[in-house]
Amino acid sequence: MTTNLKSSMDAAMTIDGALAAALVDYRSGMCLAQAGGGMNLDLAAAGNTQVVRAKLKTMETLGIRKGIEDILITLADQYHLIRLVPNADGLFLYLVLDRAKGNLALARYKLTDIERSLKV
């Protein structure tokens, strides 16, 4: 893992309530970098790849030309945030946030900063 990827994952883990973070290639479903735990991030990367691909296919079918910024999956006690990286085609950042400890708006803001500074 390059220093930039490691520092990006470290930065994601400083977000209040962050439980896990990953950088995922949705062309292959592979996790390129990860931090945190509490779950199998390789399995989560593969599963969320299917979510991203399904949404992209649906948008294409509907003729929606604008890109996806992020996808939010809300669970009883967690937020799962998928943020596509526009300057690195085929990649997304994945953040698992504890709902009780995190602030979704702030997490989205900080994840956007991380995405913009990401060099792959």
Domain residue extents for the chain: 3-117
CATH topology of domain 3-117: Beta-Lactamase (3.30.450)
- Please state, in angstroms and rounded to a whole number, the distance separating the CA atoms of residues 52 and 10: 24
CA distance 27 to 34: 17
pLDDT tens-digit series, residues 34-59: 999 889 999 999 999 999 999 999 99
What pTM does this model have? 0.92
Q: What is the pLDDT of residue 1?
A: 45
